[in-house]
Chain A
Amino acid sequence: MKRALALFCIGLASAQDFHPHFYNAAKEAGLTAPIPNGGNTSKEFIIETTGSGVAFIDYDNDGLADIFIASGPGSPSRMYHNEGNGKFRDVSAALGFTREGWAQGVCAGDFDNDGYTDLFVTYWGQNALYRNVGGKRFEDVTAKMHLTQDRTRYNTGCAFIDYDNDGKLDLFVANYLKFDFNSTPKPGANPYCFYRGIAVNCGPRGLPFDRNILYHNEGSAFRDVSDASGISQPDGTYSLGVLTGDFNNDGLTDIYVAGDQTPSILYLNQGNGKFIDEALIRGVALDDNGKAMSGMGVTAADYLHDGLTSIFRTNFSDELETLYRNIGKGEFRDVTTEAGLGKNTRYVGWGCGFFDFDNDGWPDLLLVNGHAFPEVDKLKIDIHYRERAILYRNDHGKFTDISESAGPAILETHSSRGLAFADYDNDGTLKALINNQNEPPSLLRQSKPSANHWLEIKLEGVTSNRSAIGARVKLTSGNLVQTDEVRSGGSYLSQSDLRLHFGLGSSTKIDMLEITWPAGNKQTETNITADKLLTIREHQ
């Protein structure tokens, strides 16, 4: 019997009227410093391939999202202050960001509930918890908060999560694999060190697995509860992107982790301090052929307006990206092809995010790409180290690839990794920040945004954690009903602005906002006008 092959799909032109025009505003914004990340034409070790994330975080509470960019050796990770008028200023040294190393992921949350958003940066090596001191500087409190690790670990994605809803943010840290420069084989050393016949860095297959970590916030310090909680149980996943969310609508935050060449993990929160991985039976571990993909980045949205949080994951070249539709009760179905996705199979996808670029109320989807191996360019095939981004428009739950007509920034080629979103100038449109390997970052914004209306919401917990991470919002505006959730981490090792953004189409009024706080209490706000930033504090 002849073997059947996986097939590759094509893109179709959008029928929508509004055509976005994204351009790269990084240079004019002052984001010109390259982000070192290993070799540019060849990479000897896997640590050079995984790159690093980016974050939008308003560290000084001035209402303008600032920028943090994680970096490999050769530069410290940098913090840029948002000066207004679309300009950013490098304030890394002044704020205390001087450390160099293999920075990987970044996630934000106010772990000490002092009203200033703190930052956690993962490394191959010791992670760093930076406490935000009044918006003036960041103090490395890693050791003080008992987060020092007893060996060198390859930490990747992270997220603050209040898994026990005690009002204090806990911390989840994904681990990729066990790696060190001395014992890891060199390119070509064994069958796991080749790609299409050329010698490349070894892994992840062939390198030893490691386990993920959960730290419980005890107030004065964090405590490793990985074993007691069941987080360390899955033993066989190369973990990268981390996504949190209440995927089975039981009021408890769950954790989804993208597995690279291994099944992805869905830690379902049991509500008693324990998690159980149910990814396989719930249909989010593999693709619809039962095969493990090379999962990198992850994002989630109620993309169908059915009140359920679906999951999207980027994968490797010659694999389809994966959209798992939440069909209720925390069960999922792979709907990649029928949703109009899976049309781009030559890209290695990393950062990804649902964002409503045209404010029509339907979350669209941006993916950034770049091959793991620079050596692939030697093959002279249609797969390249530097690739363009992909922009899908969401038309009532069906996606259309509009990359070719969405402006020059989408078509610029880079080897991109991290991706995050924020409306950093508060004009009502979301912008995208991208971490490019060995190049300056990209900052995507539209030259002529849609005239649709919008609302941005900043939630402040009181009984719940101050950052309101885990809070869910249901917005009703006429017939448009949308839901979203405040999340730490996500995309590929990145952090988007903690404020929620809703497109409203032609509506100028929001009939009702229903907020479910992590503490379990519900709050309703009515008759809200559109086109503004709204801060909502948790009622006591």
Chain B
Amino acid sequence: MPVINIIFVLALYAQCEPTPVGDKRLAGLAQAQCLIAAKRFAEAGPIVAQLEKDFPSDPDVLYVSAGYHMKAWNDVIYRMYQNAPASYRVDQLSAEVFETQGKYTEAVAEYRKAIAKNPLAIDLHYRLGRAILQQSHDPAALEQARKEFEAELKLNPADAVAEYQVAQILTAEQNKAEAQKHFERAAELSPDFPEALIAVAKLRSDDKRYPDAIALLERATKVQPRNETAHYNLMLAYRAAGRTADAQREKTELDKLQKPPEGEFSNFLKKLGDKN
């Protein structure tokens, strides 16, 4: 029997008390497993968090943490379905689960049910619009989705992301003038929203207002230093403005960001390549 399972059994007998084992990692793992099994999630949480802090790359720790989060999530969902089965939140949650499974038709249906139960709930129209776009490549989907984003904006006029989505759809529909207003509104509502900053910057570049575009894109890269879209468009804006050295610097940055991650799997692939 693996050591971790022996300790786990011991911990169970000890009513999930901290085990008298000198090794901090093994003791933590044993206690966490015991508490998770006993559905004492509130107590397990801090122990798992501490383990992750102390041993961030340990596969046993990560495995136990994944189990904790999954079981805790399942437990809450179960209670929600038991205690409030008719709530719009149940429909919303079902929709979100379907989304994660890629079942967008089902997700759309569940979001519609949730909206019917609570038409004023924030975020439902936005999520429905997003699911509609995922569900279908049919041209009609664009208009349906736009209506949902606009409905979200009626409930929450300060929703920058809904503004951004409306603008994206208008762009796709070749309505650049209207799209521009919504992109600019999104950036006003949320000055640290990188996608909106980038979109407005592209419009400025189209108008050859490169200094304005550069300012917006520099801000986007500051807000989100690993945003490849921002770096790419900043590189192009520098290029257009004749700032070649700056463009090259952004290119270098982008090259770094786009480099495949190093790790066990990458190493395996490299070895596969070396065989040929």
Contact = CB atoms under 8 A, between A and B. Distances in A.
Do A and B form a real pair? yes
- The listed residue with most A CB atoms (<10 A of its CB), out of B169, B174, B190, B235, is B174
B248 A281 contact: yes
Contacts of A291: 228-229
Nearest to A2: B161
Given A5-B130, A337-B172, A342-B172, A183 B142 contact: no
B173 A9 contact: yes
B172 A10 contact: yes
A378 interface: no
Interface stretch (B50-58, B72-80, B268-276): B268-276
Contact of B231 (A5, A9, A290, A333): A290
A208 B272 contact: yes
A101 interface: no
B232 A383 contact: no
A294 B154 CA distance: 38
Interface in B19-48: none
- The listed residue with most A CB atoms (<10 A of its CB), out of B101, B195, B231, is B195
A292 B258 contact: yes
B109 to A, nearest CB: 15
A288 B169 CA distance: 16
Contact of B270 (A10, A208, A382): A208
Contact of B269 (A2, A9, A206): A206
B203 to A, nearest CB: 11
Interface in B234-251: 235-236, 239, 247-248, 251
A98 B262 CA distance: 46
B228 A5 contact: no
Contacts of A10: 139-140, 142, 172-173
Interface string B185-209: 0000010010100000010000000
Interface in B136-175: 136-142, 161, 164-165, 168-169, 171-174
Contacts of B260: 236
Interface in A2-19: 2, 4-5, 7-11
A382 B135 CA distance: 9
Contacts, number: 106
A7 B141 CA distance: 10
B142 A1 contact: no
A280 interface: yes
From DSSP, what is the main secondary structure of chain B's interface residues?
A: helix
Interface string B105-130: 00000000000000000000010001
A183 B233 CA distance: 40
Nearest to B275: A183
B273 A9 contact: no
A345 B137 contact: yes
Size bin of chain B's contact surface: 35 or more
A125 to B, nearest CB: 13
B254 interface: yes
B102 A197 contact: yes
B176 interface: yes
A289 B171 CA distance: 14
Contacts of A263: 258
B251 A281 contact: yes
A178 B138 CA distance: 37
B137 A382 contact: yes
Interface in B44-96: none
A490 B176 CA distance: 33
Nearest to B176: A338
B178 interface: no
Interface in A189-212: 190, 196-197, 206-209
A346 B171 contact: no
A27 to B, nearest CB: 31
B254 A280 contact: yes
A448 interface: no
A346 B133 CA distance: 12
A292 B260 CA distance: 12
A280 B272 contact: no
B232 A286 contact: yes
A340 interface: yes
Contact of A290 (B133, B134, B228): B228
A183 B168 contact: no
A283 interface: yes
Given A283-B236, A288-B202, A331-B239, A8 B276 contact: no
A2 B133 CA distance: 15
Contacts of A337: 171-172, 174
A180 interface: yes
B200 to A, nearest CB: 14
Contacts of A11: 139
Contacts of A183: 272, 275
A180 to B, nearest CB: 7
Interface string A358-395: 00000000000000000000000011000000000000
B137 A383 contact: yes
A333 B208 CA distance: 13
Contacts of A333: 236
Contacts of B137: 8, 344-346, 382-383
A111 to B, nearest CB: 28
Interface in A284-304: 286, 288-292
Contacts of A346: 137
Nearest to A10: B139
B264 to A, nearest CB: 12
A208 B270 CA distance: 7
Interface string B209-245: 0000000000000000000111111011001000000
Contacts of B164: 4
Contacts of A290: 228-233, 254
A344 B202 CA distance: 23
> Closest 5 interchain pairs by CB?
A290-B232, A208-B273, A10-B139, A346-B137, A9-B172
Given A10-B140, A207-B272, A289-B229, 5 more contacts: A8-B133, A10-B139, A11-B139, A236-B260, A281-B248
17 contacts: A2-B161, A4-B161, A5-B165, A7-B133, A8-B141, A152-B276, A190-B265, A196-B102, A197-B101, A280-B251, A280-B254, A283-B239, A290-B230, A337-B172, A338-B176, A343-B139, A382-B137
Interface of A: 1-2, 4-5, 7-11, 151-152, 178, 180, 183, 190, 196-197, 206-209, 236, 263, 280-281, 283, 286, 288-292, 331, 333, 337-338, 340, 342-346, 382-383
